[in-house]
Amino acid sequence: MRTTNWIILALLALAMTAAAQQSASAPNNSQGPTAPAASGPAQPALAPPTTMDQVVDRAIMREHDLIKFLAPHTPVVETYLQNLTQDPQLGPIPENDRYFLGRMDLSDSIDRSDFLSDKGKGSKDKDEGMEKHLLGGFTKLFKFQYQPLGFSWMIYADRNDFDRQHYDFRYARREFLGDVRCLVFDITPKKDAGRGRFLGRIWIEDQDFNIVRLNGTYARPSRNSYYFHMDSWRLNLIPGYWIPAYIYSEEGDFTAGARNKIAFKAQTRLWGYNLKTGTASDELTQIRVDSVKDETPAAQDASPLAAEREWQQQAEDNVVERLERAGLLAPEGDVDKVLQTVVNNLEITNNIELPRPVRTRVLTTSPLETFSVGNTIIVSRGLIDVLPDEGSLAMVLSHELAHIVLGHNLGSQYAFNDRMLFSDEATFQNLGFKHIPEEEMAADKKAVEMLKASPYAQKLETAGLFLKALQVRAPQLTALLQAHLGNSMTVNGTVARMAQLTNGAPPLDWNKLDQIAALPLGGRVKLNAWDSKVEMVKAQPVAITSARDKMPFEVTPFFPRLARYNAPNEPAANPVAATTAANPAAATTTATNTTPTPSN
Ligand SMILES: [Zn+2]
């Protein structure tokens, strides 16, 4: 069906078409005075619909409300894509990968600006950096084009023309998604509705009639364009609205005889809707340093060393606050406590006493990385996701703790507030915490010493296995392993960390079902799309029944457990949950050791 020279030109052109058609729908609102009485024009309290037609009208109205509500927001949007190749034993495995990170502007159409434009100045043309990132070797080879906007397009069914003039709605059935009862409709664009119209299925919750899930593609690609298939999920994270949070895309066919062996899987996550929009005046706001109350006895001047430490703390606070403001650092929360427990275990058993406590925070992005600034250790969400157990988490944290213990301070230049004044998208060009190789080696050495004296001494085999699995996949996962702020875990495709642990680990064996070296992405940490908070996933472990179930470092579909909004002050029996479905080993990391449950 597909030929290799098709161009995946996902939907960028569509944005323009849709914008051009925008005026057509405005005066012609389907919820006008002629709408059925029961769902009549915008009344504060609407009577429940009594027919499926009225349900559709209400859903259309709610979709337009959502579009209006989200217009001032500029969430962070991340797409991580793995191109797949068929492995006879393991099935589809990653062949190479791509990573996009940007901010979406939902005001007029859907537009985005990218964090990863090429180094330095930020390119004159904002698409240029994005384009470069997309068109790597793979795309040159197959003449494919991935437009990151394409992956995030399906946050709405149709930004401008979601109405009865453009679409036919056919009721399919009722279905529960998680705790939420839904009415399911199949949607097809009308014959003359034009290109780039949504084709697929929507799930409408049966209380306020918001769309909570969209699954399908866009209809009538032109000869040299191609629309992705997408599964788009919304969560009820604030009262009254269901916020687009996850989009899964997948293309490809590995059945025998399929002509085209090109395939990919991609996860798109949105978060940080409630971040302040980066207006010009916002960027010029002086960063306030939250000063810790001075505990030293009165009438004492700072000694040179005390001044040095104060200075470092100022830099640390600046960086933490700046990253949080850009949506790249999760607010303090439960996951930090898990990390903190492990750090404490390392500190206590090694008699480490530091003038200030070590703090831990979570970077909200997927690429595997850690770094530290002052006494704050920062670990990426993606790295926490793929670590198989607490021992391997200890391995990761011990390296950063070693930098702190050895006084490898980086980032004191950020104590100058002017260095915090940049646009969010320029974060990676303006901040950096990379150590020189000598410091990396010294930190590894110290880390291994600390681990051997810690409660994790007996659990380092899995940590070594994790590094081995990382080594096996490293050549294919360059985007996932590209650190944006700290040192990458690999150098030129080779794992550059903790070689000593690798040597002590047993051989890696995919067929050993009880050997879990690394987990798929998304299995441990869930990120709240609205407020960017992170928490540990609470999922039942699923038994692994074949080597193909292991999916180390891989992308899987999303299957969040939908639930209605719970006010945060009532402890929710079942908090808004988002776990990935195909997660073989979603055992929660706590301070106690948890090992994924293998099948027997
Ligand atoms: Zn390091």
**370-387 pLDDT per residue, tens:** 999 999 999 999 999 999
Structure tokens at 479: 């985007």
Q: Is 46 helix (H, G, I), strand (E, B) or coil?
A: coil
Q: With 50 as the cut, is the pLDDT of residue 79 above it? A: yes
Buried-state track 356-371, b at ≥16 Cβ within 10 A, e below 16: eebbbbbbbbbbbbbb
The DSSP code sequence of 12-41 is: HHHHHHHHHTHHHHGGG-TTSTTS-GGG-S
**How many whole angstroms from 473 Cα to the centroid of ligand 1?**
21
Q: How much of the chain, in percent, has pLDDT values that exceed 90?
A: 49
* Angle formed at CA 567 by CA 561 and CA 571, multiple of 5 degrees: 75
Burial of 395 from C-beta contacts in 10 A (0-12 / 13-18 / 19+) = buried
Looking at residue 16, its pLDDT comes to 31
Residue 595, pLDDT score: 39
Q: Could you tell me the distance, in angstroms and rounded to a whole number, from the CA of residue 437 to the centre of ligand 1?
A: 8
Q: Residue 11 pLDDT more than 70?
A: no
How far is ligand 1, taken at its centre, from the CA of residue 565, in Å? 40
Which residues, at least 6 apart from 191, have a Cβ–Cβ distance to it below 8 Å?
none
Residue 191: DSSP 8-state: T
Buried b (16+ CB within 10 A) or exposed e, 316-326: bbbbbbbbbbb
pLDDT of residue 341: 96
φ, ψ of residue 238 to 5 degrees: the values are -140, 160
CA distance 553 to 138: 20
Q: What is the pLDDT of residue 186?
A: 97
Closest CA to 585 of 386, 306, 290: 386
- Distance (angstroms) between ligand 1 centre and the Cα of 524 equals 23
* Mean pLDDT over each residue of the chain, to the nearest integer: 79
pLDDT tens-digit profile of 463-485? Answer: 999 999 999 999 999 999 999 99
β-sheet with 376-380: strand ranges across? 359-363, 376-380, 370-373
Q: Could you tell me the distance, in angstroms and rounded to a whole number, from the CA of residue 446 to the centre of ligand 1? A: 11
pLDDT interval class at 37 (50, 70, 90): very low
CA–centroid distance, residue 436 to ligand 1 (Å): 8
Contact between 236 and 45 (Cβ < 8 Å): no
pLDDT at 36 over 70: no
> What would the pLDDT profile of 410-466 be if each residue is shown by its tens digit?
778 888 888 888 888 888 888 889 999 999 999 999 999 999 999 999 989 999 999
Report angle CA 96, 97, 100 to the nearest 5 degrees: 160
Q: How far is the CA of 33 from the centre of ligand 1 (A)?
A: 64
Q: How far, in Å, from the CA of 427 to the mean position of ligand 1?
A: 20
| Residue 417 CA, ligand 1 centroid: distance in Å | 25
Q: How far is the CA of 442 from the centre of ligand 1 (A)?
A: 9
Q: What's the gap in Å between 533 CA and the centre of ligand 1? A: 26
* C-alpha of residue 425 to centroid of ligand 1, in Å: 25
* Token code pair at residue 307: 């001044």
Name the least confident of 61-65, 77-81, 221-225.
221-225
| Among the listed residues 13, 20, 245, 271, the one whose alpha carbon sits nearest the alpha carbon of residue 150 | 13
Instruction: Quote the ligand 1 centre to 21 CA distance (angstroms).
Output: 52
Q: Is there a contact between 144 and 251 (Cβ–Cβ < 8 Å)?
A: no
Convert the pLDDT of each residue in 289-317 to its tens digit: 455 565 656 657 888 988 888 888 999 99
Residue 254 has a pLDDT of 72
DSSP string across 115-155: S-SSTTT--SSHHHHHHHHH-SHHHHHHT----HHHHHGGG
Region of poorest pLDDT, from 117-121, 240-244, 434-438, 488-492: 117-121
The tens digit of pLDDT for each residue in 179-202 reads 999 999 999 999 988 877 889 999
CA of 400 to the centre of ligand 1 (A): 6
pLDDT tens digits, 509-567: 999 999 999 999 988 999 999 999 999 988 777 888 888 889 999 999 999 999 999 86
Spacing, Cα 335 to ligand 1 middle (Å): 21
**Choice between 149 and 447, residue whose per-residue pLDDT is larger:** 447
Nearest Cα to 430, choosing from 418, 443, 440? 418
Res 496: pLDDT: 85
User: Which pair of structure tokens corresponds to residue 237?
Assistant: 């994270």
> How many angstroms is it from 341 CA to the middle of ligand 1?
20
| Res. 583: pLDDT tops 70 | no
Q: What is the Å distance from ligand 1's center to 77 Cα?
A: 27
Residue 382 is inside which H or E element, if any?
Answer: helix 381-386
Instruction: Find, among 61, 26, 75, 108, the residue nearest to 211 by Cα.
Output: 61
In sequence order, what E strands does 354-433 have? Answer: 359-363, 370-373, 376-380
3-state SS, 266-306, equals EEEEEECCCCCCCCHHHHCCCCCCCCCCCCCCCCCCCCHHH
Distance 369 CA to ligand 1 centre (A): 10
Q: What are phi and psi of 562, to 5 degrees?
A: -75, 140
Is residue 130 very low, low, confident or very high in pLDDT (cuts 50, 70, 90)? very low
Residue 28 pLDDT: 37
Expressed in angstroms and rounded, the spacing between residue 402 Cα and the centre of ligand 1 is 8
Write out the residues surrounding ion ligand 1, Cβ under 5 A.
435, 440, 443, 487
Distance from the CA of 411 to the center of ligand 1, in angstroms? 14
